[in-house]
Structure 1
C-alpha cells in the first residue's frame, strides 16, 4: 500500500532545534497533543495503543457497515433480514439496499469504509508490535508476551474480516517502515497463512484467562484459528482445536465455557460476558462518547414506538419472511429441512397489510421457541415493552415486511441506564456482540466432525444447542404466564442417515440459532451454496416485497466478495487487481 495513516496512535515528531539561554529553559515544553517516545513505550502507553486497536471492532469512526458485527453483509446480504425502514431511508452514505439486492459497486462508500476501518485496526495492532521491542523497564516479560499475543490476535481478526469480505487483499505487518515512503503492496497473495500464523502465535502466548473482560485469551485464539481452518476446509485441523476448546476452555470467572440456560440472556446487556461468550465486542454507555456503545445498531429498532417501545426509530434490519418461516417445525419439533417451510400452510402467518386496529390472531402452528426471541411479530410480547402491535411499529410494510428485529434490543427496565441518552436516540445501548459464542463453537465443531466422518459426535453437539432451546422456563410468556405461541422443539433422536443429512441438519441449525448475528452470508459462501440458496430466497421474498427485491439476482463467481473499493484502486496507481465481475 502507498500509505497507511495511523489515526490516534503514533505520530512522527518533527523536532525544531532552537537555542535558548539558560534562563529560557522554561520554554522547553512538550508539544501539545503529542506523546514522547518514553510515554508510548511504558506499560500504560503500550496498553493504550493496544486498546486503540480493540476500539475498531465496532467500526468506530466509520459507517455502520464497518463493524465486526456484520449485520449488513452477514445478515441482510444473507437473506435473514431486509434493509427495512422505507425505500428512501438510508440512501446517501448508507445505501444498505444495495447489500440486499447484490448491486454493490466499487464506488460504494460503505465498502470503502469497511476496507479503511479494518486497515485502521491493523495499523494500530502493528503500532503495538513495532513499539514493543522498545518497551520500558516497567513492562515485564509476561506483559510483553501477552501484549504481543493480543495485538496479533486483533491483527488476525481484521485480516480475517478483509479476507472473507474482499478475498485478495494486500498484507502489511509491523516490519514496514511507515515513514519512509513504503513500496506499494499488491493484492496478489493469499493471506490465509498469515492469518493462521497470527492466531497460532496468540494461542501459544496468551493466558487462559484475562483480568479484564473483553480481552482475547488462549481459548478465543484457538477457537478463531479453528474457524479459520473451516474457511480453508482444513477440517481435521479445525476438529483438533475445537476438541480442545470444548474440553478445556475457561472463562475469566473460572467456569467452563457453556451454553447459558436462557437463550435470550446471550442478548441481554445485564448478562454480558457470561460463560457462553468466547470473544465479544464490548459496549458501554454514558461514557461521554456514544462510539463506546453498540453504535452500529442505532437504527435497528421498531419504528415510531413512542414511550411504549424502544428507541422510537428507525425500522431498519427487518427480519425476512423467509427467515420467519424457517422456524416452522413438524409435529415432533424438528425443522423442515426439505424447504417446505416456505410452502402453503407451513408459511408463518403474519399481519402484512393488516391495520393494527383490525383483528389478528398470531400463528397457532408449531414453531421453534427461538422464533420469538429472534423476531418481533404482532401479537407476541416484545421483551418487557408491550405486545407487538404490528403495522404501527413498521415504517413501510410494503418495503420492510411485517417483522421487527429483537435480538439486540434493550429492555424497558434498562432504558437510560444501559442505553446512552446523550444523543438523538436511546438506541445506543450497552449490549455486547459476541463475535464467537459457545453455541457457534459447538456448531462449527459439528461441521468438522461431519467432515471427519464422526456423525454421532456431530449429532451430540447439535443436540446440545437444541436442548438449551428446549428449556421451557425460558420461552416467551404472555402476561398470565402461558407460552406466547405453540412452541415445540426436540432433539435428533436417531442417527443421521448419511453425511448429506448431517450437513443439512447442522447448516439449518446455524440458521436458526445464529439468525440475525451476521454469519449467514459468509456461511453460504464458504459452503459453496450461496448462488442457489440466495437466488431461491430472492425469488420467494420478491413476491412479497417487490419494492425491495424485484429484479435482484445473485451472480455466482462475482457476488461472493465485495469489489475492491474504487478509491483504493485509484490511490494504488493501478497495482491492485479488481475482483472478478466488477
Structure 2
C-alpha cells in the first residue's frame, strides 16, 4: 500500500480543504492540497477513485500528526524532555511538557489543524463514493466507505481527546461554505466516532493481500472501537468488541517484541493499523507531501557517529531516568525501547553523556533510511497493536470484577490470560492479585509496552481517575504546574479563535 499512497498524491490534482479558522487555508502548499471534485466519482477510472481513498490516509503521515506531533505527546506525558533546544528547537513542546503553554502554542495549533484535511477528504469520499458504481464493484465501494469511516473516526478520536468539544463536520466542505463553524459537545462527537467504527467494521474485510496490505481492516475498526469504549469507561462494551475481534483468529503477538519495529516485518500478525512510510519519494525534506518517516533522524542520539541519516542525528527525545528505571529486571522491552549505557548499536557503543538524562529513544531507529533525503525512513509507525488490545481486554475484565480472567497464567505469548501474555513475551513472570493491585499492574504494563507510540501514555494518563492519576504522577516527577481540569485538554489556537469567534469558549484556564 505504500506505493499506492505515494502515487495517489501525484494522480489527484487538488484536494478540497476546510479551514476552521475562517481563513483561506492554513496549509503552506494549498495549491497541491485541493481536489477539483466536480464529477470526479462519476467519470473517474477505478485507479482514480482508488486514489481518492488513498488521499484520506496521507495526512496521517504528516508532521502535524504521526511524523512528529503525535509521538511528542510522550514528552508531554513526562517520559522525557526535548533534548536539542539549540536555537529554540522544540520550544512549543517544552512549554506543553512543563504545562506553561498558552493558546498561541504552535504544537497545540498543529495538533488542532492536522486532522482537518483527512476529515474533509473522508467526508468527500463518503458523500460521493456511491456515484462510482459504473466504474468499480460494489465490494470496492463498501471497502472504500469502510476505510473512510475508519479514518474519519481516527482523526476525530485524536481531536476529541486532545481538545474536548470540536467542530463536528460530516459532509464535504469547500471554500464557498460558511467555514465559521462552532464546537460540538464531545459526547455527540463520540457517538459519531462509535457509529463510524461500527460502520467500518461491517464494511471492511478482515485481511488484504498484495499492495492492499496496510489498509484499514475490520479488525482495526474493532480495535479502535474498543479503545473508544475504554476511554468512555464502557467496560462491558470493550469486552464484547474485543471478543468479536479475537474470534476472527487474525491477530497474535509476535514472539519477538522487536519485530514490531523492524521495517522488514511491517504489517505483521500483531499489527491492527500502522501509518505507512517509504523511502525514496521525490519530495524535499520537510515537505508536507513527503512519504518518508522523520523518526529516525529526530530520535537518533546527538552522538559523534552519524546513525540518523544524511544530516546526522537530531537527538530530540531524552528519556527521563524515572522511565528507564521503571522497567522490571530482565524486561526484554528495555533494550528495544531505549538506549542505555553500553548498548551496542551498529558497532557504536552508547555513551550516556550524549543525553542530558543518560537515555535516548531507540524504538524507531532504522538502518534502511534514504541516502539523499534525511527525512526518509521507511519504518512504519504503529497506531494500534494487538498487545494494546490484550491490555485493554485485561483492564476491562478487571474493572468489571473478572480479575482472575484478566491475569490468568500465561505460558507463552499466545497462550493464557491477556495481561500475562504481554508480560511473558517481555520475559517477565505471570502476576496476579486483587482488583486494585492488578489495576496498577495493567497501567504499568501499558506504559512500558506502548512507550513512545503516538501518545498512548498521554491518553491513558488523562483518562485514569478523572485526571487525579495524571496530577499525582506529574507532581511526583516535579511537574507541579499541572493542574486540573486545565491540563487535561490543550488550548484551541488563538489564531483560529480570532478568525472565528464561534470556536469560543476557549478550554478552561487558557
Name the TM-score, length of structure 2 as normaliser: 0.85
Q: CA offset at residue 293 of structure 1?
A: 1.5
* Aligned residue-pair number: 464
The 5-angstrom pairing of residues 432-581 of structure 1 reads: 432-459=380-407, 460-470=417-427, 489-492=428-431, 495-497=432-434, 499-517=435-453, 518-528=455-465, 530-534=467-471, 536-540=473-477, 542=478, 553-581=481-509
2:341 match: 378
Distance 2:24 2:125 in 1: 15
Query: What is the alpha-carbon distance in structure 1 between the residues aligned to residue 448 and residue 471 of structure 2?
Result: 16
8 Å CA contact 1:56, 1:117 repeated in 2: yes
| CA spacing shift, 1:239–1:4, aligned 2, 3 Å | farther
Shift of 1:419: 0.6
Cα 1:82–1:177 shift into 2, 3 Å: closer
Deviation at residue 106 of structure 1 after TM alignment: 1.1
- Structure 1 segment 224-263 matched on structure 2, within 5 A: 224-250=224-250, 257-263=251-257
Work out whether 1:11 is the aligned partner of 2:44. Answer: no
1:422 aligns with 372
Distance 1:179 1:139 in 2: 29
- In structure 2, what is the equivalent of residue 390 of structure 1? 352
Cα pair distance change 1:169/1:569, threshold 3 Å? same
Give unmatched runs, 5+ long, in structure 1: 14-35, 251-256, 330-365, 471-488, 543-548
* Correspondence for 1:408: 364
CA pair 210-561 structure 1, distance change in 2 beyond 3 A:
same
The residue number in structure 1 matching 2:268 is 274
Helix, strand or coil: the match of 1:95? helix
Deviates more, 1:509-518 or 1:442-451: 509-518
- CA 1:193–1:444: 2 relative to 1, 3 Å: same
User: How many Å separate the matches in 1 of 2:55 and 2:177?
Assistant: 24
Partner Cα distance (1:279, 1:126) in 2: 21
8 Å CA contact 2:299–2:315 kept in 1: the answer is: yes
Aligned-partner Cα distance in 1 for 2:60–2:482? 28
Tell me which structure has the larger Cα radius of gyration: 1
d(CA) in 1 for partners of 2:80, 2:298: 14
CA distances 1:502-561 after superposition (whole Å, capped 9, x unpaired): 111111111111122221111011113645545544553x5xxxxxx6xx5111100111
CA contact (8 A) 2:72 2:93 kept: yes
Q: Deviations over 1:126-175 (max 9, x none)?
A: 1212221321512111111111110111011100011011111000012x
TM-superposed deviation, 1:72: 1.0
Q: What is residue 215 of structure 1 aligned with on the other side?
A: 215
Deviates more, 1:148-157 or 1:563-572: 563-572
CA displacement, residues 180-236 of structure 1 (integer Å, 9 cap, x when unaligned)? 433643214221001001011001111111231210011110111111111111111
CA contact (8 A) 1:9 1:127 kept: no
1:78 alignment counterpart = 77
Distance 1:221 1:249, change over 3 A: farther
Distance in 2 between the 1:177 and 1:374 partners?
Answer: 41
Counterpart-to-counterpart distance in 2, 1:378 and 1:177:
52
Query: Is the deviation greater in 218-227 or in 510-519?
Result: 510-519
Q: 1: distance between equivalents of 2:153 and 2:201?
A: 12
1:8-67 per-residue CA deviation (whole Å, 9 max, x = no partner) reads 342367xxxxxxxxxxxxxxxxxxxxxx73686432222112111101112x2x54x665
Q: Distance in 1 between matches of 2:262 and 2:95?
A: 31
Answer yes or no: is the 8 Å Cα contact 2:254–2:270 preserved in 1: yes
Distance between the aligned counterparts of 1:103 and 1:292, measured in 2? 33
Runs of 5+ unmatched residues, structure 2:
1-19, 408-416
Match of 1:57 among 50, 60, 78: 60
Taking structure 1 as the reference length, what is the TM-score of the superposition? Answer: 0.75
Note the C-alpha offset of 1:570. 1.6
